[in-house]
Structure 1
């Protein structure tokens, strides 16, 4: 494999460690397509979660346990979104896109 490309995948291993895909420049392979689909689902879930958060936080009767649960889910969604952003930024730089500073 000449000039392999490394992609940060949108999930971690069972031990919580980062998962990477090492491939040639084929960005349309099976694992790449699955990763693209997972990223789309993760970002969509984040959007839906924001709607739930707005409703719950506007409810003066919201219970502390509900708010803690919401905070945990928002943390997960933010972690997922940041992983997607890093992965996409890495791919842009690898494709000749601008490097972030």
Structure 2
């Protein structure tokens, strides 16, 4: 009887790995992370970058931070692009009204690093 319980317990452990692999559990956990407040500005930054560099592929993305002012704030990003075998960075600043979130100014600056 004891051997039967041990083998049953082992089969449950091994079968649970087959039924729900650990990498799926990690993926499910990753999907529960809260969406950061700058996410919508990151999407906007990628859109504006694609408008200026339509043939380039965005290969990396960094949120640098936010500069908050009394009436406007600026979200700062750095995107890494690849085009025709050349890689380069683009700094993008998005200034917006704090109350309405209306975009006031978008600045893109290319950098080799």
- Asked if Structure 1 and Structure 2 have the same fold, meaning a TM-score greater than 0.5 normalized by the shorter chain, the answer is no
TM-score by length of 1: 0.23
TM-score by length of 2: 0.21
Structure with the larger strand share:
2
Which structure has the larger Rg? 2
Structure with the larger helix share:
1
